[in-house]
Amino acid sequence: MEPVETLVSFVAELRYEDLPLTTVEATKRQIADALACALAGSAAPLTPEIVVRHVQWGGAPEATVLGYGHRLPAPTAAWLNAAMLHAHDFDDSHRASNQHIYVTLLPAALATAESLDQPLAGRDLITALVGAAELQIRLGLSVLPHMHVGWLPTAVFGGLGAAAVSGKLLGLPAEGIAHAVGLAYAQAQGNRQGLLEGAIAKRLTPAFSARAGVHAAALAEIGITGPRALTTGAFGLHALFGGGKGDAAVLTAGLGERFAVDDIALKPYPCCRAAHRPIDMALEAKAQLQPFDPATLAAVDVWLHPRAHALIGQPFRMRQNPQVDAQFSAQWTVAFALLHGAPGLADFAPEAVRAATEVQSLAERIRVHRLPDAAPGTHERLTLRLQDGRQAAITHTDIKGEPSLPLTRSERKEKFLTCAAYAYHPLDEETAAAIFTDLEHIEEQDDIRPLSAQLSLDPNDMPACQ
């Protein structure tokens, strides 16, 4: 039997009552975090222009564009909201499957929910997200070890998860969800070339998958069929994306005993997740060597695992999109941490990166090394030596924001308020704090469809879109 059929049945049959309290709480935190990231992304460079173009195209007023208030067809709203959610690379990560999860799932879920002609309870949203994430993450885990580093797992598998969550919310049976996921697979896409070139396309890639998932579920609802042998087929995921290899066992092992969303991390910094550990190690080294004067630095060395090195280990270069260049540079992020502390949204703005000449100068002196492949017991590390002979050697086995080292409620709330204030139309602190508190009890809400509008302005007040 095709393992995806088992996963699809799991999604279709999952009930809120099946979820442990810890899983519900984790999902609520993830929803709030994703919405915060989308608000911040509403003001990202070129986002207003992208929104204007889609508003000009128009269409059925089914779902809300977060932060703007315009109502557009559900697939279009999902695309725009996903593009905003990922704009600052501040959104969640699932380390084992190397994916961002909510960038495709939540925009697809909210767009689908708003298109319904009946209320959608918060607990039903949570259930659909948990089930779809299980499918998306397990598919990623089954392929990732054999996947070419050039593929973007978030996009490849995110469309399948988006189709599953949309199909679940539409009330499709297991067979309908299977066809939705198959139709999303027919649109599977996503590569890292835009990342390598620092192109804006980097942050838009998951948006195509979110839109594909909503579109696929809508087609499945009217009887359009999709392929079913998604892992075992001659041209399935394992054959095409795994080079003919794949772990079938991981797709269904322990299904329902534990939930994949429990392993999702929330980011403290708006940059590539691979850069977070080097940032934290730099901050710890700096704290150990007080009094610390960056002018007295003699040497800084960072050792990265091969996959991290492939993403952030190259020498820093300022190209067409300085934000992406800095976000995906171990040299730049470590240099910033040593000079200024933890980086925030404003620090990665293109104009800020261009102006930070002192960060660029230090970045050029930081040496980044690639650890050997599959070296057991080898951990990423940072060494720092000052001219007076003092030195620090830091090794971190964990990363802030992982479930084993989670953000505190205070840190999560501060991130939400910061992102809300950074929005194209900023939310005042009182309003943002009230929304954050409401999201902590979203499972008690009888209808979450107004949520997107609560985070948005009247479109008539949006000068960029008039």
Stretches in the chain below the pLDDT threshold 70: 374-378, 458-466
At residue 207, the pLDDT reads: 99
In this prediction, residue 249 carries a pLDDT of: 96
Helices (H), 42-121: 47-57, 74-85, 102-115
Q: What 3-state class would DSSP assign to 393?
A: strand
Distance from C-alpha of 81 to C-alpha of 31, rounded to nearest angstrom: 13
pLDDT at 461: 58
* CATH code reported for the domain at 273-395: 3.30.1330.120
Nearest to 395 by CA among 330, 301, 329, 306: 301
pLDDT value of residue 196: 86
The answer to whether 45 and 88 have CB atoms below 8 angstroms apart is: no
Q: How many helices (H) and strands (E) does the chain have?
A: 20, 6
Could you tell me where in the chain the CATH 3.30.1330.120 domains are found? 273-395
The sign of the dihedral angle between the CA atoms of 394, 395, 399, 403 is negative
> Would you list the DSSP string of 179-213?
HHHHHHHTT---BSHHHHHT-THHHHHHHHHHHHH
Count Cβ neighbours within 10 Å for each residue of 206-216 and write b for 16 or more, e otherwise.
bbbbbbbbbbb
Alpha-helical regions (H) of 189-292: 193-197, 201-221, 237-240, 276-288
The 10s digit of each residue's pLDDT in 205-234 is 999 999 999 999 999 999 999 999 999 999
Residues 6+ apart with CB under 8 A from 398: 404, 405
pLDDT at 216: 99
Question: Does the predicted model carry a pTM greater than 0.85?
Answer: yes
List the one residue out of 156, 139, 140, 181 whose CA is nearest residue 12.
181
Q: Is the peptide bond before 291 cis (omega within 30 degrees of 0)?
A: yes
Q: State whether residue 394 is helix, strand or coil.
A: strand
Listing DSSP states for 288-343 in one string gives: HT-S--GGGEEEEEEEE-HHHHHHH-SPP---S-HHHHHHT-HHHHHHHHHHHSS-
Other CB atoms within 10 Å distance of the CB of residue 108: 41
CA distances from 89 to 36, 231, 317, 454 (A): 12, 29, 19, 23
Q: Which residue spans of the chain are classified as CATH 1.10.4100.10?
A: 3-268+417-465
Q: Residue 377 has what pLDDT?
A: 57
Compute how many other C-beta atoms are within 10 angstroms of the C-beta atom of residue 459: 16
User: Is 3-268+417-465 CATH 3.40.50.150?
Assistant: no
Give how far Cα 51 sits from Cα of 48, 76, 389, 439, Å: 5, 10, 54, 26
